[in-house]
Amino acid sequence: MTTILVIEDEKSIRDEVLDWLRFENYQVLEAENGRVGLTLAQQNKPDLILCDIAMPEMDGHEVLLEVRSNPELSHLPFIFLTASADRDSMRQGMNLGADDYLTKPFTHAEVLTVIQTRLQKQAIHELQQQKQIEMLDRAFQEERKKRLLKTRLMAMFSHDFRNPLSLILLASDILYEGERMLSPERKLHQHARIRGSVHLLLQMLDDMLLVAEMESGYLEFVPKMMRLSAFADETVKEFLLIDQGVHKITFFNQLDGLVQADRKLFRQILANLLTNAMKYSPAGTEITIYLGEDNGRIHLEVRDQGMGIPESSLPHLFEAYHRANNVKHIKGNGLGLTIVKECVDHHHGDIEVQSVLNEGTCFIVRLPLVRTEPTETV
């Protein structure tokens, strides 16, 4: 219930105003002078104050100054009750921070109108303040979330970097210490391990940069005419080095001519799908890549004979950091498919997944097929 404090030294006026307010179902507090009124305000925290100006012990101006200087009361609507002769004094009160005034004699309707208007404005002001507080809180939580994500990303990528770096060091030591003893085939094998690890590190760095761009909202889409089939072939060859013959990787490349695509984003699509296929497929199994044209669209397909994806994980597959329950024992950061989805979306394409648990998974990416130069917008 709304509480109104009436501070008025003339009892007849005070009683009349109190009767009006009670009739309108307001809860009321009354004070015969400013000092008593200020004490009641401090003790009860009313929703609005009606206050006479000329009063004994403490006048209305002094009450207003005390109210506005009190952090717990400073927001309260404050309305002066004043006689016609007090207009100059009332103006002074308005300059001190009063919200409105009523000139004696006033009517029941005038009192209620001023009170309702001020309470409505106060409610709107409080609502706006609450919204601002909520916005600031959301901004703070978002910033905190971003910082935690950055910390988490750095920790994960730092951990992921260790394996290829260790392989590079190990292969380098073997080449250095056994330079005269190693056969040409074994030397080539160690060189291939180093090259594969370097390619893997470069892919991780690309992932880091792309995630940073995604987090900042500045991931650029720059489509250009390119021989996508040749570019995809180069990417697959890099991953053959990374895989080191662990899987049987076959690439069916049937896309002809120049097409329009974003080089960096397409590489991320193919690279992350290949990374997942290699990571979650047993050694010796087949990984098949197909690139071609289907119904006027670019059709990319990456199929493996790996662990498959549980049905419960399919709706969450492209969410950041989500990892299916059956792969949590395998190292990963849960960002690969999020990156793929973001890159596909920037191409205005779509992605489909078909998976059977313990049999394998197939990702199908469809992108618009454009064979003309992109037009620049002015």
pLDDT tens string 30-81: 999 999 999 999 999 999 999 998 888 898 899 999 999 999 998 899 999 8
What is the reported pLDDT for 218? 74
Cβ within 8 Å of residue 244, ≥6 positions away: 192, 193, 196
pLDDT tens string 86-105: 566 667 777 788 888 888 88
pLDDT tens string 293-311: 999 999 999 999 999 999 9
- Global confidence as pTM: 0.54
- Residue 9 CA to residue 34 CA, distance in Å, equals 8
What is the reported pLDDT for 244? 84
Place of tokens 């497929």: 281
Place of tokens 């950055």: 150
What is the reported pLDDT for 229? 93
pLDDT band at 332 (very low <50, low <70, confident <90, very high): low
pLDDT tens string 161-214: 666 677 677 767 777 676 667 777 777 777 777 776 776 677 667 766 776 666
What is the reported pLDDT for 329? 72
Does position 344 have pLDDT exceeding 90, yes or no? yes
Local structure of 307: helix, strand or coil:
coil
pLDDT band at 29 (very low <50, low <70, confident <90, very high): very high
Contact 195, 187 (CB under 8 A): no
Return the higher-pLDDT residue of 62 and 220. Answer: 62
What is the reported pLDDT for 330? 74
Nearest alpha carbon to residue 207 among 282, 273, 306: 273
Q: Out of 133-137, 149-153, 325-329, which region has the weakest mean confidence (pLDDT)?
A: 149-153
Contact 343, 296 (CB under 8 A): no
Q: Out of 125-129, 155-159, 243-247, 318-322, which region has the weakest mean confidence (pLDDT)?
A: 155-159
What is the reported pLDDT for 199? 67
CB-based burial, 243-276: b 16+ in 10 Å, e otherwise: beeebebebeeebeeebbbbebbbbbbbbbbbbb
**Strands of 48-52's sheet, edge to edge?**
27-31, 3-7, 48-52, 78-83, 100-104
Task: Provide φ and ψ at 2, rounded to 5°.
Answer: -75, 130
Token pair recorded at residue 151: 């910390």
CATH numbers and ranges of domains, the chain: 3-106 (3.40.50.2300), 224-378 (3.30.565.10)
Average pLDDT over residues 327-347: 81
Nearest alpha carbon to residue 351 among 359, 334, 339, 360: 339
Average pLDDT over residues 222-234: 91
What is the reported pLDDT for 377? 47
Rounded (10°) CA dihedral 39, 44, 47, 51: -20
Q: Bridge partners of 232?
A: none
Does position 333 have pLDDT exceeding 70, yes or no? no
Local structure of 229: helix, strand or coil:
helix
Nearest alpha carbon to residue 40 among 87, 76, 10: 76
Does position 318 have pLDDT exceeding 70, yes or no? yes
Mean pLDDT across the chain: 84
pLDDT tens string 241-280: 888 889 999 999 999 889 999 888 998 899 889 989 998 9
Q: Bridge partners of 293?
A: 298
Does position 150 have pLDDT exceeding 80, yes or no? no
What is the reported pLDDT for 293? 93
- What is the bridge-based pairing of β-strands 259-261 and 224-226? antiparallel
Does position 340 have pLDDT exceeding 60, yes or no? yes
